[in-house]
Structure 1
Amino acid sequence: MERGNVTTPFGRRAMTLGMFASQVVASEIDSHQSIDKWKLFRTVCEAKAIVGVSDRALAVLNALLSFYPKLELTCGKGLVVFPSNNQLALRTHGMAGTTLRRHLAALVEAGLILRKDSPNGKRYARRDTKGSIGDAFGFDLSPLLARARELQTAAADVALARQETQLARERLSLCRRDLFKLIEVLRETDPASDCDSLQQRYLLAVEHLPRKPALAEIEHVLSQLDLLRAEVLNQLEKLINLQKLATNDSQNGCHIQSSDPDSSTESERGLGHETQAGLRSNSGDSVLIEEPLISDTLATDLRVSPRQMATEPGQSTQAFPLSTVLKACPDIVDYGPGGEIRSWRDLMTAAVVVRSMLNVSQGAHDEACRVLGPETAAAVLACILQRSAHITSAGGYLRDLTRRSLRKEFAIGPMIMALLRSHPGNVSLAS
């Protein structure tokens, strides 16, 4: 920068280091540099938050650019505009003089324009003999051209931050909507879950969120809601897995049986064609099985009166606690997951293993699950396993119990109590 080009303000306005720095920047313009003044103005508008100017100050800058005759700002002495305050007030839609001077000072302080004051403080231009402007005093637009690349970078940063904030707001809106509805689904599906606590955590996370939050505030709330959303989804997935496991353990798919009920291939071990023929009379009613399926002792223990009726087909009941079933049928525990049974689901899993071991067909097991319910069917298989040494055909016995349940002549209660009485240590419990 040439030292002769440094100018100081007129009157009582003091010279500052910032004014000097702006003049140094303005003097370092590439001689071939040029830019559309209105594109540059839009860039300044986008970067106003970084530049540090207000909307009213930008309106004054817009008016100053309108006094520049060319479309593009180019390097040279012609970047000085010299409008009067009256003309500036007109082009700023009637802005008051004091307000106009305040925003002009703000543009100078932000380093967007320079004051080039005349000896008497007036704004004017000297022209040569050809009518061209030789020297002018007013407001120099050189800092705008010199800082064009810097302003473009600042505008790009603002646009990127705005886009990130918008995306974060969208994520926040989606996360809030998902959480609200997922908690409601969990409340309806699993009433035992602590949905009130989840709802309270959700409200605490969004309670202090301002109307127009910054990106950092949105990200902070999102981090909390994402954790809460993952927890709710995890609980819902567990419910789905429980339903799938219960369905697979009790049904094991849709096994298609033969349409011929008297087919010897579908009969259980120990129930041949002749034996099954004795199950029905000419009228279609069930009769006593000619071949004994269980011993006389067990038959006496498991005799069910007509008043001891089962539930409706397909309705699962847990009339006895799981612990009581396991005391009556301790042998089933060895077939549970990991050699133990902690829940009804574990009992159903063990029943699937026992079904295969006792040569009970898939069809017999599926029918028992449909009529008795998956939990009751698992308990019946546990009872059959416990007295398997006295049962000729486990599959045939299960089918017979299923048919009796359809006629409401079977309940699992007497079966459990009979097995409890068969263990000497459980006599007091059975009584």
Structure 2
Amino acid sequence: MQSDVTTPFGRRPITLALVKRQIATKEIKPGKSADKWKIFRDASEARELLGLQDRSLAILDALLSFYPENELRQDAQLVVFPSNAQLTLRAHGIAGATLRRHLAFLVDAGLIVRKDSANGKRYARKDKAGTIESAFGFDLSPLLMRAEELAGIAQKVAANRLALKRAKESLTICRRDVRKLITAAIEEGADGDWEKIESVFVELIRRLPRSPSLPDLADLLDEMKILQEEILNMLDFHGKTENYSTNDAHNEHHIQNSNTESFNELEPSSEKEQGARASQSRDQKSEPMKAFPLGMVLRACPDITAYGPGGAIGSWRDLMAAAVTVRSMLGVSPSAYQEACETMGPENAAATIACILERAGHINSAGGYLRDLTARARQGEFSLGPVLMALLRAHGGAAGKTG
């Protein structure tokens, strides 16, 4: 197999990257072989990451067709030497200028190497027995050298495509559910500021890019799920008030806590509102709070990450350890935090501490504030969903301004 470093014929320049690729072909493991069409399929799957277009792949397919064996082997002669006319025919009549441009793309992508003769012609020199001694054209050695790399890239691309498809499906379903829940609530006269809820929904849909990436979809899906959870909480409160209330005024007090003002405020409700709701909620059995995904909490409350073990948070255990440190720093008593853990659950209590840290500059007494939230949670009047959504939107807005 030829592996000498050569420079391109004519005006085409040589680059250090091209030199390195030619030298690297000498380091192919002895005896290595790979199916050329398997490599081609992997390169096709990875074409976007390689910076290739469909026509580039058509030309690569044509080049491989000039190699007589199905397997590329380290101990074989891997240079093919078709003329431009032959390549054009096998590449389905591609134009000459287009052919030259996409050959250059394949070289730049590191999939082939030019082996130019003294006059730039492509040919092979054979011995008396008809065996090729040397050939000038396009060396396919980089494909054999990068076979495993291309397979790994192809698997990653396929996994990302599947994840993107599933994220789109999940967002479509959640979007549909939220839309129909809002419509049903409005048509059936459920209590709540549904106009404001709908405006939040419309804003989320407006932010969806025409060609969203996986992170775009993940962020929007998180916020859409929070909105869905808040709507269900509102409708659940609506059902409970019908069962427990004795008059319309009693109903109004129950629904006030689910007003969408909570999407913009982390501050607790007024003492008057709390007292009115507490009197009606005293006999109700509180239900466990829903724990939101850790990733969502960390995106909404990035400040707490610095207090995790080693300055990072990779699990709920890490977040709870960080919350203990932050609790002490904020002046929250152990008893207040313990009460929050018992009422909300340890995960939600830690997430609440993270939210308080994020808004520490707006809160006078973190300890008193946590006790107030705990009391509201005990009465079923506090949900982390609106808080997390408000913080997510705040960070998103800040990123947009600085970018």
TM-score range, shorter chain: 0.5 to 0.7
Give the whole-Å Cα distance in 2 for the aligned partners of 1:349 and 1:121.
Answer: 91
Alignment check: 8 A CA contact 2:10 2:120 kept: yes
Note closer, same or farther for the CA distance 1:116–1:341 as it changes in structure 2 (3 Å cut): closer
State the TM-score, normalizing by the size of structure 2: 0.60
1:153 alignment partner in structure 2: 152
Give the 3 Å change call, closer, same or farther, for CA 240–117 of structure 1 in structure 2.
same
The 5-angstrom pairing of residues 69-84 of structure 1 reads 69-84=68-83
Tell me by how many angstroms 1:73 deviates: 0.7
Which structure 1 residue ranges, 4+ long, deviate > 6 Å from structure 2?
A: 347-350
Distance 1:348 1:119, change over 3 A: closer
Match of 2:315 in 1: none
The answer (yes or no) to whether the contact 2:29–2:74 under 8 Å persists in 1 is yes
Q: Which runs of 5+ in 1 are unaligned?
A: 251-316, 323-339, 351-431
* Range with greater deviation from structure 2 (181-190 or 131-140): 181-190
- Counterpart amino acid of residue 151 in structure 1: L
1:336 aligned partner: none
Letter in 1 for 2:85: N
Aligned length: 261
Q: Could you tell me how far 1:176 is from its partner in structure 2?
A: 0.4
Quote the residue 2:225 is aligned against. Answer: 226
**Which residue number corresponds to residue 31 of structure 2?**
32
C-alpha deviation, 1:209, in angstroms: 1.8
Amino acid aligned to 1:241:
K
Deviation at 1:51, TM superposition (A): 1.3
Query: Aligned equivalents of 1:9 and 1:50: distance in 2?
Result: 26
Q: Is contact 2:191-2:238 (8 Å) kept?
A: no
Find the counterpart in structure 1 of residue 142 from structure 2. Answer: 143
C-alpha contact (below 8 Å) 1:187/1:193 kept by paired residues: no
Q: Deviations over 1:274-296 (max 9, x none)?
A: xxxxxxxxxxxxxxxxxxxxxxx
1:19-98 to structure 2, matched below 5 A, reads 19-98=18-97
Q: How far apart are residue 221 of structure 1 and its match? A: 1.8
Q: What is the rounded CA distance, in whole Å, between the counterparts of 1:111 and 1:65 in structure 2? A: 15
Are 1:169 and 2:180 counterparts? Answer: no
C-alpha distance in 1, partners of 2:276/2:50? Answer: 68
Measured at CA, do residues 188 and 10 of structure 1 come closer, stay the same or move farther in structure 2, by a change above 3 Å?
same
1:348/1:87 Cα in 2 relative to 1: closer, same or farther (>3 Å)? closer
Give the C-alpha shift of residue 211 in structure 1.
Answer: 2.8
Change (3 A) 1:342 1:51: closer
Note the residue ranges of structure 2 that are not aligned, 5 or more in a row: 251-273, 285-403
Amino acid at match of 1:170: E
Aligned residue in 1 for 2:187? 188
| Mapped contact 1:59–1:92 kept (Cα < 8 A) | yes
Q: Is residue 127 of structure 2 the alignment partner of residue 104 of structure 1?
A: no
Q: Which residue of 2 aligns with 1:11?
A: 10
Residue 10 to residue 52, structure 1, CA distance change in 2 (3 Å): same
Is the Cα contact below 8 Å between 2:182 and 2:198 reproduced in 1? yes
- Distance in 2 between residues matched to 1:220 and 1:71, nearest whole Å: 46
Distance in 2 of aligned mates of 1:179 and 1:346: 29
Q: Does the CA contact (< 8 Å) of 2:31 and 2:75 recur in 1?
A: no
The one-letter code sitting in structure 2 at the alignment partner of 1:99 is T
Is the CA contact (8 Å cut-off) linking 2:78 and 2:139 kept in structure 1?
yes
Letter in 1 for 2:233: N
3-state SS, counterpart of residue 110 of structure 2: coil
C-alpha spacing 1:188/1:135, structure 2 compared with 1 (3 Å): same
Structure 2 CA distance, aligned partners of 1:348 and 1:139? 82
- Which residue of structure 2 aligns with residue 419 of structure 1? none
What is the letter of the counterpart of residue 183 of structure 2?
A: E
For residue 91 of structure 1, report the CA deviation from its aligned partner.
0.7
The code of the aligned residue for 2:126 comes to: R
Judged with a 3 Å threshold, the aligned counterparts in structure 2 of structure 1 residues 134 and 166 are, in CA distance, closer, same or farther, namely same
1:134 counterpart residue number: 133
CA deviation map 1:72-99 (0-9, x unaligned): 1111341100000000000111111111
Aligned pair in 2 of structure 1 residues 349, 86: CA closer, same or farther (>3 Å)? closer
Q: Distance in 2 between matches of 1:76 and 1:120?
A: 27
**1: distance between equivalents of 2:170 and 2:157?**
20
Equivalent residues of 1:341, 1:347 under 8 A apart: no
Give the counterpart letter for 2:123 in structure 1.
Answer: Y
Letter aligned with residue 110 of structure 1: A
Instruction: Describe the shift of the 1:196–1:136 C-alpha distance in structure 2 as closer, same or farther (beyond 3 A).
Output: same
Q: What displacement does 1:144 show?
A: 0.4
Aligned 1:22-421 pairs, distance under 5 A: 22-245=21-244, 342=276, 346=280
Structure 1 residue matching 2:201: 3-state secondary structure: helix
Show CA shifts across 1:53-81 (max 9, x none): 11111111000001000011111341100
| Amino acid paired to 2:232 | L
Looking at structure 2, the residues matched to 127 and 135 of structure 1 have their Cα atoms a distance apart, in angstroms, of: 7
C-alpha deviation, 1:33, in angstroms: 1.3
- The 1:130/1:184 distance shift into structure 2, 3 A limit, reads same
Q: Distance in 2 between matches of 1:190 and 1:107?
A: 63
